[in-house]
């Protein structure tokens, strides 16, 4: 709540995209992935703090979102279940609403959250006598939720004190104290009654009954009371307890293997779909993941436990949103050996202007192939057409700018009914329409994805032929050559020059 290192500016009409400082369990999915954030992101953190205050254990937001995406139950119990009977129902319902993984399902503003808190009076707790106290007549609007939490915590504390106070055994009177004796003594001592005490008690009871029959008040006996015999020791009742049979020790729990530990850690790594397998050379890690300190730490931990083969494709941040939406479906496809559905590219790196061939196996009943680009757009390369056979191949002419692209293929048993959509649109709009149809599909679709890179083409440089150099002749040489061609007689010096310096 007072983590000033992660504070950030906010505006009512703007969404922030840059906050990457967060604490595990308290951050919503959009903050972990670095997508659109707003006041609803801080409301998730407030709900997480309140959830911890009522005794709940937080679960990573991405793990919750992935479980819900494939139709599984939420791994984090609801606040209404954790605090049932101890806190007001409106408070627990508001905490659950604030912790919704889907940002649209949370209160969008603080005023909306406060209105939900104030819609119900706090639940009645067991009667606790407390001195009267004066409360402000006009509390600020944020007090109902705070007083609800404080009242619940106070009642729980008083209840614990009362429970342990009443549970502590009171010290019995000396005359009726019992002693627990282990079975080691050969015999138990039986209780005795003192004769003097028995006779005195019988005389007193007879006098009271006689007075009651006559309708007269009780009167003391005329004879002086008999002197009670001295009590030597307090009477004790012996209780023989059976021997305690020790409970069998629980079987020792086997420690998880390095592969199991790595798989659990990879599941919560943001913006990633990783597949860890055990090979002859140690653990092989493949898949896609956002480059950064968290990925480096995961690989370092794996290296400390076992040799690691790094086959991970690093992705840019634009790929995080589609990776998160497809993660559960991709992991289901990768579990097969070989995978139940896969993409095959003609080449991973393609020059700008060249054709990129995309093949899928096996041929599905309904095929969707999408190309996600770094500018936040998605281009639809293949869609099922009613009455037309499915082609397990699509082609794309690589267009600038150079850089990575994410290719996603979806195999569905039937059409997903996405309606008419433009050939290129914003990836966020497309994913908002695609997610619910993937989750509501009668048969879970198979999904695979792969990265491709567009390479810029270097412009060709035309080579200009250089003219062939011709030796330059002096006027003397030109004269000698001309005379020799005419057949004139040359002197010895001219003949020597003709053979050396004037030779062409």
Tokens 């896969």 belong to which residue?
342
- Confidence at 149, pLDDT banded by 50, 70, 90: very low
337 and 306 share one domain? no
Task: Give pLDDT tens digits for 251-284.
Answer: 666 778 888 888 889 998 999 999 999 888 899 9
| Burial class (CB within 10 angstroms; exposed 0-12, middle 13-18, buried 19+) of 487 | exposed
Question: Which distant-in-sequence residues (6+ apart) come within 8 Å of 348 by Cβ?
Answer: 450, 451, 452, 453
303 and 330 share one domain? no
Mean pLDDT lowest for which of 75-79, 151-155, 175-179?
Answer: 175-179
Q: For Cα atoms 351, 354, 356, give the angle at the middle one, nearest 5 degrees.
A: 95
Helix (H, G, I), strand (E, B) or coil at 186: coil
Does the global pTM surpass 0.85?
Answer: no
Mean pLDDT lowest for which of 245-254, 275-284, 334-343, 435-444?
Answer: 245-254
Which helix or strand (DSSP H or E) is residue 474 part of?
A: none
Per the structure, the complete domain to which residue 494 belongs is given by: 475-504
310 and 323 share one domain? no
155 and 30 share one domain? yes
Task: Give pLDDT tens digits for 345-365.
Answer: 999 999 999 999 999 999 889
- Confidence at 329, pLDDT banded by 50, 70, 90: very high
8 and 156 share one domain? yes
10 and 92 share one domain? yes
394 and 331 share one domain? yes
> Has residue 465 got a pLDDT over 50?
yes
Predicted pLDDT of residue 424: 96
> Has residue 95 got a pLDDT over 90?
yes
Does residue 34 or residue 73 have the better pLDDT? 73
Does residue 71 or residue 104 have the better pLDDT? 104
372 and 308 share one domain? no
Report yes or no on 222 lying in a domain.
no
> Has residue 342 got a pLDDT over 60?
yes
Predicted pLDDT of residue 155: 42
Q: Which range has the top average pLDDT, 45-54, 122-131, 171-180?
A: 45-54
266 and 405 share one domain? no
Does residue 358 or residue 206 have the better pLDDT? 358
Nearest to 96 by CA among 75, 114, 118, 81: 81
Helix (H, G, I), strand (E, B) or coil at 400: coil
> Has residue 154 got a pLDDT over 80?
no
Predicted pLDDT of residue 253: 67
27 and 147 share one domain? yes
Predicted pLDDT of residue 468: 56
Predicted pLDDT of residue 132: 52
CATH number of the domain bearing residue 16: 1.10.510
Predicted pLDDT of residue 236: 54
Structure tokens at 273: 């779909």
Predicted pLDDT of residue 138: 47
- DSSP E strands, 104-214: 178-181
Structure tokens at 336: 């097969």
Q: How many domains does the chain have?
A: 4
268 and 369 share one domain? no
Going from the C-alpha of 256 to that of each of 34, 182, 259, 278, 310, the distances in angstroms are 32, 44, 8, 14, 22
Report yes or no on 74 lying in a domain.
yes
Report yes or no on 390 lying in a domain.
yes
């Amino acid at each position: 709540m007072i983590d000033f290192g992660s504070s950030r500016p906010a505006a009512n009409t703007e969404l922030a995209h840059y906050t990457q400082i967060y604490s595990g369990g308290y951050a919503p999915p959009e903050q972990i992935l670095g997508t659109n954030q707003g006041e609803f992101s801080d409301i998730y953190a407030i709900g997480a703090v309140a959830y911890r205050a009522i005794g709940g254990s937080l679960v990573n937001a991405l793990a919750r979102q992935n479980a819900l995406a494939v139709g599984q139950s939420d791994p984090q119990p609801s606040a209404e279940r954790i605090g049932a009977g101890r806190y007001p129902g409106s408070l627990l319902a508001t905490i659950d609403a604030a912790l919704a993984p889907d940002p649209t399902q949370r209160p969008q503003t603080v005023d909306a959250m406060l209105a939900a808190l104030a819609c119900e009076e706090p639940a009645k707790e067991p009667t606790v006598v407390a001195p009267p106290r004066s409360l402000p007549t006009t509390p600020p609007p944020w007090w109902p939720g705070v007083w609800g939490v404080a009242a619940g915590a106070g009642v729980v504390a008083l209840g614990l004190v009362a429970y342990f106070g009443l549970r502590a055994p009171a010290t019995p009177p000396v005359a009726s104290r019992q002693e627990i004796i282990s079975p080691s003594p050969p015999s138990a001592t039986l209780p005795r009654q003192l004769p003097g005490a028995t006779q005195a008690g019988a005389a007193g009871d007879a006098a009271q009954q006689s007075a009651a029959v006559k309708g007269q008040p009780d009167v003391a006996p005329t004879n002086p009371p008999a002197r009670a015999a001295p009590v030597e020791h307090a009477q004790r009742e012996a209780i023989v307890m059976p021997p305690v049979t020790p409970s069998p020790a629980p079987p020792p729990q086997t420690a998880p293997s390095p592969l199991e530990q790595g798989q659990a850690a990879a599941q919560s790594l943001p913006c990633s779909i990783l597949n860890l397998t055990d090979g002859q050379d140690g653990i092989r890690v493949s898949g896609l993941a956002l480059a950064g300190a968290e990925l480096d730490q995961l690989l370092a931990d794996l290296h400390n436990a076992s040799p690691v083969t790094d086959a991970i494709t690093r992705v840019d941040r634009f790929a995080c949103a589609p990776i998160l939406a497809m993660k559960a479906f991709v992991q289901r496809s990768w579990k097969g050996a070989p995978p139940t559905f896969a993409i095959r590219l003609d080449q991973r790196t393609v020059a700008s202007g060249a054709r990129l061939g995309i093949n899928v196996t096996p041929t599905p009943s309904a095929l969707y192939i999408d190309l996600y680009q770094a500018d936040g757009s998605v281009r639809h390369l293949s869609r099922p057409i009613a009455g037309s056979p499915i082609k397990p191949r699509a082609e794309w002419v690589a267009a600038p700018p150079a850089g990575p692209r994410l290719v996603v293929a979806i195999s569905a048993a039937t059409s997903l009914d996405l309606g008419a959509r433009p050939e290129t649109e914003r990836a966020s709009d497309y994913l908002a329409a695609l997610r619910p149809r993937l989750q509501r599909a009668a048969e879970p679709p198979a999904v695979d994805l792969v990265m491709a890179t567009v390479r810029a083409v270097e412009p060709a440089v035309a080579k200009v032929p250089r003219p062939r150099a011709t030796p330059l002749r002096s006027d003397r040489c030109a004269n000698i050559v001309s005379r020799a061609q005419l057949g004139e007689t040359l002197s010895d010096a001219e003949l020597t020059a003709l053979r050396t310096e004037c030779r062409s």
